[in-house]
Structure 1
């Protein structure tokens, strides 16, 4: 017979998983009527709390787990550095876990963090499946999800308004006179990529520009894929005069492909990226991009997690939505027919 989980109890009591956790562990006030429904469900289903998890939560290790999908991506490297700095200032050691966009590797790292008895986790998932997050929740590990969106019943969330940022990047190119605007997307199973792409399409529509599938290529958020996607665009029959690339690593790859093809940036083609990693200002031409508020994201994520750890957490989880800003540099320019 399969083990009854906290998710089963939450479904039976018609409450959130977080509420069940608070009733089981007596960590927060719960409305008496709601609490009674949970207790009834616990008894009827025969739920047995994970004794190992409860023993882990009785101690404090002053360690925090940080799970990122790709440490070679300079955006995630910057996020990790900021979180480590803030954690150190607050007296916490940060264990960095690079999942390498591999769900199996991510799952093993979750096992490692549970075994290490971390006090909490900042989680940037490699995909959209909630299983690893659910395991942390069921083991009563405080979690803050960054750069991804999940139901608030599972965790606090800190993320960017990616759809609006994609709109703003596209609008910048339209304002420069571009009408044939290509887009190099990231993986379609990642919400940030698809949301930026939706912003791109919305901006085209609102400005009377037809969406053209021939102007779309997909990458994987890494440099080589940006270069390869740009090569495909340039070898096709597309008439792109500008390209919106959904992260800076791919944008730098796209610039490399354009240079190798003998194009001048931005005279022949404009390129705008997304993230504002440190190298953007150092390359030639310097990359125009949409800046993510990396320090602000790291600060919010750490503050929310520490509120959990010191017992100052509000009853309801929070979703913090941050905004990006356009950084104009040298890789975009007005299009002259």
Structure 2
């Protein structure tokens, strides 16, 4: 059926007139109701597609109380780690008949609050969020509106929230241990901001590994990097200018690790660098970077399972956390 700016929207009544069935039969056929024969359903669907019928989601949501939409709120859409997670989550949601609404916060607490408000106003059926961790009042807002939610990638250790997150103490330990296995003893840790749980946990793993191998901790070797920085690692040059000696780099994320590699190359330095996130397992790029990763498909499944559990519950579900095991992925970034 051709359409134009002046064409009116195709309705159930239009399909009924075209097929000879009642509006009620058309409605029930499109909803795949059991009392309608498969032959009738097939005929109705074919005619609906031919005529360009689109379900009125507003009307449907008013009748059912559901919109079949889920908001995914992330802190940095430019970071390949989050774009990879988005793809996994969106694919699983689509397979279950849900549409994703993507909201980016740029690690800004105020933008995050507006994102949560937007999701609530749009009457989403649930929220999946990697929080900025600048604020916790967003979770009271979510709770007050009785919305199912799951936090991913980060955690609130003193609060009981629905959470799926990597074992970041383990990831910090694994990254540090790999550099020690290369004979490095002065490992520079380019960490994230201290208010982010994964920064704290990876630092804990870094320190635990140094202790296990009898390496003294040097606070001069731990610096905060800009987690939104993309083209270079601005914190490395000041460290070199301060004559801080280091022979390897553990970066909070692959995003920071890749920026560090670019900076080292521009300075003519050849040092091993290890990141976290394993973004290269999902990107076909001519770059080699050793990184700590996890099973992202399993992680996405755990997130959706936790969200769905709340959606279908007939009684309150007690919040809990699922911890995802991490593993080292070695690539040839360093030539001895």
Shorter-chain TM-score tier = 0.7 to 0.9
Conserved in 2, the CA contact under 8 Å of 1:65 and 1:113?
yes
Say if 2:256 is the partner of 1:250.
yes
User: Match for residue 201 of structure 2?
Assistant: 195
Conserved in 2, the CA contact under 8 Å of 1:65 and 1:94?
yes
Give the 3-state SS of the residue equivalent to 1:141 in structure 2. coil
Q: Distance in 2 between matches of 1:136 and 1:144?
A: 11
User: Match for residue 282 of structure 1?
Assistant: 285
Conserved in 2, the CA contact under 8 Å of 1:57 and 1:119?
no
Q: Kindly tell me: are residues 152 and 80 of structure 1, through their superposed partners in 2, closer, same or farther at Cα, counting changes over 3 Å?
A: farther
Say if 2:142 is the partner of 1:136.
yes
User: Match for residue 72 of structure 2?
Assistant: 66
Say if 2:79 is the partner of 1:77.
no
Q: Distance in 2 between matches of 1:163 and 1:190?
A: 13
Conserved in 2, the CA contact under 8 Å of 1:107 and 1:132?
yes
Say if 2:234 is the partner of 1:228.
yes
Superposed displacement of residue 211, structure 1? 1.2
Superposed displacement of residue 312, structure 1? 7.1
Structure-to-structure mapping, 1:38-49, within 5 angstroms: none
Q: Distance in 2 between matches of 1:176 and 1:125?
A: 35
Q: Deviations over 1:74-132 (max 9, x none)?
A: 11111111111110000000101101111111111111111111111111111152111
Conserved in 2, the CA contact under 8 Å of 1:226 and 1:251?
no
Q: Kindly tell me: are residues 61 and 172 of structure 1, through their superposed partners in 2, closer, same or farther at Cα, counting changes over 3 Å?
A: same
Superposed displacement of residue 161, structure 1? 0.8
Structure 1 regions of 5+ residues with no counterpart?
1-54
Superposed displacement of residue 232, structure 1? 2.5
Superposed displacement of residue 67, structure 1? 0.8
Conserved in 2, the CA contact under 8 Å of 1:57 and 1:140?
no
User: Match for residue 4 of structure 1?
Assistant: none
Q: Kindly tell me: are residues 200 and 57 of structure 1, through their superposed partners in 2, closer, same or farther at Cα, counting changes over 3 Å?
A: farther
Whose Rg is larger?
2
Q: Kindly tell me: are residues 186 and 151 of structure 1, through their superposed partners in 2, closer, same or farther at Cα, counting changes over 3 Å?
A: closer
Give the 3-state SS of the residue equivalent to 1:227 in structure 2. coil
Conserved in 2, the CA contact under 8 Å of 1:307 and 1:313?
no
Give the 3-state SS of the residue equivalent to 1:209 in structure 2. coil
* Number of equivalences: 275
Q: Kindly tell me: are residues 280 and 119 of structure 1, through their superposed partners in 2, closer, same or farther at Cα, counting changes over 3 Å?
A: closer
Conserved in 1, the CA contact under 8 Å of 2:76 and 2:228?
no
Q: Distance in 1 between matches of 2:267 and 2:278?
A: 25
User: Match for residue 324 of structure 1?
Assistant: 326
| Structure 1 counterpart of 2:299, from 293, 297, 304 | 297
Q: Distance in 1 between matches of 2:279 and 2:272?
A: 19
Q: Kindly tell me: are residues 151 and 180 of structure 1, through their superposed partners in 2, closer, same or farther at Cα, counting changes over 3 Å?
A: closer
Q: Deviations over 1:200-239 (max 9, x none)?
A: 1111122111111222221122344861122233333122
| Structure 2 counterpart of 1:170, from 176, 194, 201 | 176
Q: Kindly tell me: are residues 60 and 281 of structure 1, through their superposed partners in 2, closer, same or farther at Cα, counting changes over 3 Å?
A: closer
Q: CA RMSD in A?
A: 2.4
- TM-score, L = length of structure 1: 0.76
Q: Kindly tell me: are residues 194 and 144 of structure 1, through their superposed partners in 2, closer, same or farther at Cα, counting changes over 3 Å?
A: same
Q: Distance in 1 between matches of 2:255 and 2:184?
A: 23
Structure 2 regions of 5+ residues with no counterpart?
1-60
Superposed displacement of residue 295, structure 1? 2.0
Superposed displacement of residue 318, structure 1? 2.5
Q: Distance in 2 between matches of 1:313 and 1:87?
A: 23
Q: Deviations over 1:281-317 (max 9, x none)?
A: 7344x00010133222211111111122223788433
Conserved in 1, the CA contact under 8 Å of 2:156 and 2:197?
no
Say if 2:120 is the partner of 1:117.
no
Superposed displacement of residue 144, structure 1? 1.0
Q: Kindly tell me: are residues 183 and 239 of structure 1, through their superposed partners in 2, closer, same or farther at Cα, counting changes over 3 Å?
A: same
